[in-house]
Amino acid sequence: MIAWQLAKRNEPLVLADLPLGDLKPGYARVKVAGCGLCHTDLGFIYDDVRMRHELPLVLGHEISGTVAEGSLTGKQVLIPAVIPCRTCAPCLAGQPRICSNQLMPGNDIHGGFAEYIDVPEKELAVIPQEVDQDVLAQMSVIADAVTTPLQAIKNLGLKKGDVAIFIGVGGVGGFGALLALAFGAEVFALDINDQKLEKLGQAGVKHTLNVRENDIRATKKWVKEVCKAEGLPGFGHKIFETSGSAPGQELAFALINMGAQMATVGFTMDKLNLRISNLMAFDARIVGNWGASPEIYAEAIQLYLEGKLNLKDFTELHPLSSINEIIYKAHHEGLESRAVLVP
């Protein structure tokens, strides 16, 4: 099996020919159709983000494919980015996202930057209608870049007419903004990349702002002015920090107003100095968001199949053989669309 492994941090992935071996009981062998490149993968490579599997390790946790071996053979599936055990105390308490024995492809086990991957079969999300291979590859991003913001949206109880502010509209934030549109929210997109903002504007997001050109005070003023001019609520905003950066988190916290809720979706190793008492004064709350429960995948798949979620214009397929080039570009230059690597 051809696979690309991280052998040493801050160095290119290494091409390897790994044996498939015997399939474990209760597992499925999935032939990978596509695997999305996530900010977390870059963190493992460049930022000393802790991994639970020793190196060398095959990265990649946004995976779609076709079951090649197992009871679901022939089915097109998505592999959850966080796979719960269903038997530990958190799982039995109905909180599978904090499973004590969770498996994350590309972290706990070998991931999807390979031809095949073996995973527990019971948590696979089956796609209810057959799609062509390019579409199946594009759908890989549902397994994190879509389900993670969908989980955040549900955690905050986003509903039609709510003001939803997304800070950082790359992969996760961009798909989050599109999902919020599908939920009927009034969406604000904030980023430092005009092309990403323009693309979301073309997709229906009316309120976009380049925050590189506006400090926190100016951004807060702009949000207030737009809400007043458009007759939108001036309280209870739903704020999604999806940039995974210290400046993004600082801005998100500053935008908290009376009754607001903030979802921390992006990850950074940086620390901030914040006045937490603002949460008391504004009767507001901040909610963490580690991945998504496998139960939410069926809803995300259905949103896409019903045409309510545009993946094609926000993903770009690349041959798996170009992975080091794509990783370098993503880290040093940034990508305009979510990169999906295709074996």
Residue 130: the pLDDT is: 96
Which region holds residue 274: left if phi is over 0, alpha if psi is between -120 and 50, else beta?
A: beta
Residue 191 has φ and ψ, to the nearest 5°, of -160, 175
Cβ-in-10-Å burial (0-12, 13-18, 19+) of 64 comes to: buried
| pTM of structure | 0.94
Residue 49: the pLDDT is: 86
What Rg value do the Cα atoms of the chain yield, rounded? 20
Where do the domains of the chain lie, and which CATH numbers do they carry? 2-144+292-342 (3.90.180.10), 147-288 (3.40.50.720)
Give me the amino acid identity at 205. V
Residue 242: the pLDDT is: 96
Residue 267: the pLDDT is: 87
Tokens standing for residue 99: 């499973």
Residue 291: the pLDDT is: 85
Residue 48: the pLDDT is: 82
Tokens standing for residue 105: 């492809």
Residue 50: the pLDDT is: 87
Residue 81: the pLDDT is: 96
The pLDDT tens digits along the chain (343 residues) read 999 999 999 999 999 999 999 999 999 999 999 999 998 999 999 988 889 999 999 999 999 999 999 999 999 999 999 999 999 999 999 999 999 999 999 999 999 999 999 999 999 999 999 999 999 999 999 999 999 999 999 999 999 999 999 999 988 999 999 999 999 999 999 999 999 999 999 999 999 999 998 999 999 999 999 999 999 999 999 999 999 999 999 999 999 999 999 999 998 889 999 999 999 999 999 999 888 999 999 999 999 999 999 999 999 999 999 999 999 999 998 888 999 999 9
Complete DSSP assignment for 159-217: -TT-EEEEE--SHHHHHHHHHHHHTT-EEEEEES-HHHHHHHHHTT--EEEEGGGS-HH
Q: Is residue 45 classed as helix, strand or coil in its secondary structure?
A: helix
Q: Is residue 77 classed as helix, strand or coil in its secondary structure?
A: strand
Residue 315: the pLDDT is: 96
The answer for residues whose C-beta is within 8 angstroms of residue 301's C-beta and 6 or more apart is 78, 125, 127, 128, 139, 142
